[in-house]
Amino acid sequence: MDRISSVGSPRIGLVQFPGSNCDADCIDAFKRLFGIELLLLWHQEEALPPIDGLILPGGFSYGDYLRGGALASCSKIMPAIKAFAGKGGSILGICNGFQILTESHLLPGILLRNAQQNFVCKNVDLAVAPGNSGYHSRLQGRVYRVPIAHGEGRYHIDQDTLKKMEDRGQILFQYADDSGLPNESANPNGSQSQIAGVLSENGRILGMMPHPERASDPLLGSEDGRAILGAFLATVL
């Protein structure tokens, strides 16, 4: 997909669903880290304005009263988002945004209730799994410390699809120990293969449970989100 405008900063949209609550954090992070003003898109719009990339923020859309993201995945704006994805558009879904992406089948798998049954809020270390996507090549070679805060983050997928995803390099992030080894004892929610973030086949849609937008300043505990959000921006440049 061509960029909307080749000069100036990219046009990035952010969808607000009823119950989205990490929208302000995303807006703030993009402004401070990259000087980018996100375009706010209301869930009831049926068409997207011209954009280069799209963010689905975290929160509890519709209270997550069915499964996380299930009700939002059928909101009015979704067909336009699917069309954007179909054209190879770049999308970043964070936490609830990830759930919305799996629920609307833009990403494989499902996010089930955490294995230990409780909501969990903490910093995790993320390792970058093998793969050749733009994200992989930008992010490989180090560990990222990023907060998580969710009750339904246990990634599940059937074995065959998992194998295919691994072969195609669709796994991006895995929960790891601080040395960067994916590790069951570092797995906060029982995710299959410690999966914390996955990509679409074309490598342009990323869904992840951790919140890179919150790791936006050393004063907040980590600035590792900058690299991750930067890798997303790189996919639209």
Query: Interface with another protein by CB under 8 A: which residues?
Result: 18-19, 21-22, 24-25, 28-29, 59-60, 62-67, 70-71, 74, 102-103, 108-110, 112-122, 147, 149, 151, 154, 156-158, 190, 211, 213-214, 216-217, 219-221
Of 136, 97, 121, 123, nearest to 218 by C-alpha is 123
Catalytic residues: 95, 211, 213
Rounded distance, CA 67 to CA 170, Å?
24
**Crossing angle, helix 23-34 and helix 225-236, to 10 degrees?**
80
81 contacts 15 by C-beta, under 8 angstroms: yes
Rounded distance, CA 90 to CA 84, Å?
8
Q: Which is nearer to another protein, 134 or 221 (CB)?
A: 221
CB 62, min distance to another protein, A: 5
Half-sphere exposure of 219 (CA within 13 A, CB side): 0
Q: Which is nearer to another protein, 90 or 114 (CB)?
A: 114
Q: Which is nearer to another protein, 70 or 127 (CB)?
A: 70
Q: Which is nearer to another protein, 37 or 158 (CB)?
A: 158
Rounded distance, CA 230 to CA 154, Å?
26
CB 151, min distance to another protein, A: 8
Using the structure block, give the residue that is written with the tokens 């929160």.
Answer: 59
